[in-house]
Amino acid sequence: MSETRSPREVFHALLDGITAGRFAELDGLYAEDAVVEMVFAPVGPRRVEGRAALRERFLAVGEHSPLELAARDVVVRATDDPEVVVAEWDYRARHRTTGRELTVANLQVLRARDGLVVHSRDFHDHAALADLLGTPPQPAAE
């Protein structure tokens, strides 16, 4: 019998999957009723509920993103709640077509229970991503 991943281990598995481009596997890190809030997202929904919706979102990103992401300066902090970690990191993002690169700041407050993400609040530098992609930010859907 394998041990359940800690919240820190769940975060690292998520980050490893993203940077390796394994988007089709990421939904397996989330609980069936998980909630992800992308607090500063300029486009798309700011809240995604459920593993199925997350799977669709991850597959769309994996299928259409021209970006390569490498995580740098990753710091994961424990909190007084054993289910919650706060992670800070930068992505070194590279556009596959143009070769242009930028550093993108990120912060995530992640709650994991029984080895799965049940809730996260994600704070990414969407303006930097939009700049790298050459798409101006637009208002998010509520």
pTM score above 0.85: yes
pLDDT confidence of residue 41: 85
Q: For 7-133, which CATH class?
A: alpha beta
| Contact status, residue 79 vs residue 73, Cβ threshold 8 Å | no
- CA nearest to 67, candidates 10, 29, 19, 121: 19
- CA nearest to 22, candidates 66, 71, 58, 73: 58
pLDDT confidence of residue 1: 43
Per-residue pLDDT tens, the chain, 142 aa: give them: 468 999 999 999 999 999 999 999 999 999 999 999 999 888 778 999 999 999 999 999 888 889 999 999 999 999 999 999 999 999 999 999 999 999 999 999 999 999 999 999 999 988 888 888 887 655 555 5
Those residues whose C-beta lies under 8 Å from the C-beta of residue 23, and which sit 6 or more positions away, are: 17, 58, 59, 61, 62, 63
Query: With left for phi above 0 and alpha for psi between -120 and 50, is residue 102 left, alpha or beta?
Result: beta
Q: Is 91 exposed, middle or buried, given 0-12, 13-18 or 19+ CB atoms closer than 10 A?
A: buried
pLDDT confidence of residue 138: 55
